[in-house]
Amino acid sequence: MAISNFTLNKIYLHYKNKLEGVKISKIVKISDYDFSFILFSKKQESLIISLEPLHPYFLMSSSYFKTLNETNTFVTTLKKYFENGVIKKVSKIDNDRIIILEIKKITQTYQTITNKLILELIPHRTNAIIVDENDVIISAMKLSSSLDETNLIARGVHYIYPSNEDKSITMDDTLETLKSKIGLTLYKDILYRIEKGETLKDILSEIVTSDKYYVYKNDILSIKLHSLPCIEITLDEISKIYEQKENDKYKKDHYDLVFHLVKHKLKGLRNKVVNLEKDYQKSLDKKDYVEIGNLLYMNQDSYVKGSKEIEIDGRKIQLDEKLSLSENANKYFKQYQKSKKALEELEKQKALTLQKIDFFEKIENQISFASISDMEDIIYELKQNGYIKDTSKKKHPSKKQEKVFNPHFITIDGYKIGFGLSSYQNEFLTFTLASKDDYFFHIKDVHGPHVIIFSNNPSEEAILFASEIAIYLANKESGEVYLADKKDVKKLPGQIGKVTFNKYQTISISKIRESTIRKLKENL
């Protein structure tokens, strides 16, 4: 998540008082660039430090993040100097994206030490540097590779703070001075607004006084964009965005096999359909070979031995000059019979291939929203279908262990709504948890989740929200949704999560509300 110095300064001021005086209970590694300082606080919050080269960030979060058991020298050093320490002071370089944590700790030998953690949250040159009270470098995530570097980061060397170039935004700024103070996205938006007739003075006033946050793609902004779609968020919601980003990264790192398998299978199966259709057309071109064979039998008197072709009723027919006319006729009959069988087989193969494409497209859609536990359910289905080898060893082969599937739930307008993010979750939700008079929803004609309202008389808001879930989790922005009583929904034999129904209503959704998307993201 890219962030300007101006926006980071607002966030820093918001967190400063919350962090000062708080004890760090544990330091854990989330990824190669991300760390969590778990804090002793009423809300069990963590300080998340992201040093990703493109999207560095600094936030407080009460969310749970998957952590890595592995460690490295820098993480060990972080633990040594800061774990069980108290954050005495949080400061920021006024005109740069550098946060400084001053942390006091009592060592195992009862010595009190105070050191600083300097966080350089600068895109393309992120770093975390540990220094002592006199700013002498103890360690760093990235040490300089050469002593000739301008900003030398080496053990035993004094850390040099950046020059105090004024990057604060004021009412006296011009378009030229703003270039180095704000991100490119916001700068382009200001140009757009000026072209539309707004004055720079009014825009600057809005920037300086704004107390809100907005997100556009990976950018966190402190002013609403007018030229591009952006969503207003709170600091807590920024934490949710980060959590989703970390979950996506974790999924990619730990479930790469699944992503690769689905991508590879879909590519191969789609190519197979193209080739099957070509073969089908070739066989289809031979459907009139019976008629050709009959014509040859009926016109043997006009045949000249050794001819490579014969013309009958204005139609030229190719011949094998080594064969008699009757033998050529039999050859055409045989090719017809062969093509007839081929057509039947090709139709079967195409239907089977399309069924497999349908399966993997469903999996592809599911993994785009799946949490870590959902991914395990998806892997279970791939194993059940033989696409991933099940290498797990049963401790008690004689005992059948039932796997538990956990659908997702949300309460809207007082009504409980459930939805599945895997085929087994859908199956369990609809045919185990739902009652016969509950409301069932599914997007029309494409892959999507089962959605259940656990009521036989829900409110209009609950029905609308459930319909929007069915659309959103199918990766669509609009569409039609089937609404049926659960009692009218029947399983398709042998196909987990697949259903059929004859009695239903159709609800049309032209656009999913932003409030629905936000609520769903909070609960996924």
pLDDT band, very low/low/confident/very high, at 408 (cuts 50, 70, 90): very high
Q: What is the mean pLDDT of residues 105-120?
A: 92
Kindly report whether the global pTM for this prediction surpasses the value 0.85: no
412 or 43, higher pLDDT: 412
pLDDT band, very low/low/confident/very high, at 439 (cuts 50, 70, 90): very high
Is the Cα dihedral 17, 165, 140, 8 positive or negative? Answer: positive
Would you say 443 and 509 are in contact if contact means Cβ atoms under 8 Å apart?
no
Predicted confidence (pLDDT) per residue in 269-278, tens digit: 999 999 999 9
pLDDT band, very low/low/confident/very high, at 509 (cuts 50, 70, 90): very high
Q: What is the mean pLDDT of residues 328-337?
A: 88
Q: What is the pLDDT of residue 55?
A: 82
Distance CA 47, CA 39 (A): 7
Question: Using only C-alpha atoms, what is the Rg of the chain?
Answer: 33
Describe the chain by its helix, strand, coil percentages, rounded to 5: 40, 20, 40
Quick one: which H or E segment has residue 522?
helix 514-523
Q: What is the pLDDT of residue 402?
A: 66
- In the block, which residue shows the tokens 């400061």? 91
Using the predicted structure, report yes or no on whether residue 65 has a pLDDT greater than 70: no
Q: What is the pLDDT of residue 189?
A: 93
Q: What is the mean pLDDT of residues 107-111?
A: 86
pLDDT band, very low/low/confident/very high, at 372 (cuts 50, 70, 90): confident
Quick one: which H or E segment has residue 190?
helix 184-195
Using the predicted structure, report yes or no on whether residue 500 has a pLDDT greater than 90: yes
Distance CA 294, CA 330 (A): 9
Cα torsion at 73, 77, 80, 84 (round to 10°)? -110
Q: How many Cβ atoms from other residues are within 10 Å of residue 463's Cβ?
A: 22
In terms of Cα–Cα distance, which of 16, 175, 38 is closest to 91? Answer: 16
Would you say 87 and 19 are in contact if contact means Cβ atoms under 8 Å apart?
yes
Mean pLDDT value across the chain: 88
List C-alpha distances in Å: 445 to 366, 470, 500.
16, 12, 12
Q: What is the pLDDT of residue 309?
A: 86
Q: What is the pLDDT of residue 466?
A: 96
Q: How many percent of the chain have pLDDT more than 90?
A: 50
CA contacts within 13 A on the Cβ side of 151: 12
Q: What is the pLDDT of residue 164?
A: 65
Question: What is the side-by-side order of every strand in the sheet holding 451-453?
Answer: 408-412, 415-419, 451-453, 439-443, 479-485, 505-509
Predicted confidence (pLDDT) per residue in 213-252, tens digit: 888 877 888 889 999 988 888 877 777 777 777 777 777 7
Residue 202 identity: D
Distance CA 482, CA 466 (A): 11
Using the predicted structure, report yes or no on whether residue 69 has a pLDDT greater than 70: no
Q: Name the token pair of 14.
A: 């918001």
Q: What is the mean pLDDT of residues 414-421?
A: 95
Distance CA 371, CA 407 (A): 11
In terms of Cα–Cα distance, which of 452, 480, 427, 449 is closest to 366? Answer: 449
CA angle 22, 25, 29 (to 5 degrees): 115
* Least reliable range by pLDDT among 193-202, 328-337, 448-457: 328-337
The alpha helices in 370-448, defined as continuous H runs, are 372-384, 423-428
Q: How many percent of the chain have pLDDT more than 70?
A: 95
Would you say 235 and 344 are in contact if contact means Cβ atoms under 8 Å apart?
no
pLDDT band, very low/low/confident/very high, at 121 (cuts 50, 70, 90): very high
Tell how strand 57-61 and strand 127-132 pair up. unpaired
Q: What is the pLDDT of residue 236?
A: 75
Would you say 438 and 456 are in contact if contact means Cβ atoms under 8 Å apart?
yes
Give me the DSSP letters along 426-489: HHHIIIII--TTSEEEEESSS----EEES-SS--HHHHHHHHHHHHHTTT-SSEEEEEEEGGG-
Using the predicted structure, report yes or no on whether residue 522 has a pLDDT greater than 80: no
- For the chain, how many residues are written? 524
With H, G, I as helix, E, B as strand and everything else as coil, classify residue 35.
Answer: strand
For residue 397, give every residue at least 6 positions away whose Cβ sits within 8 Å of its Cβ, in sequence order, or none. none
Q: How many Cβ atoms from other residues are within 10 Å of residue 21's Cβ?
A: 10
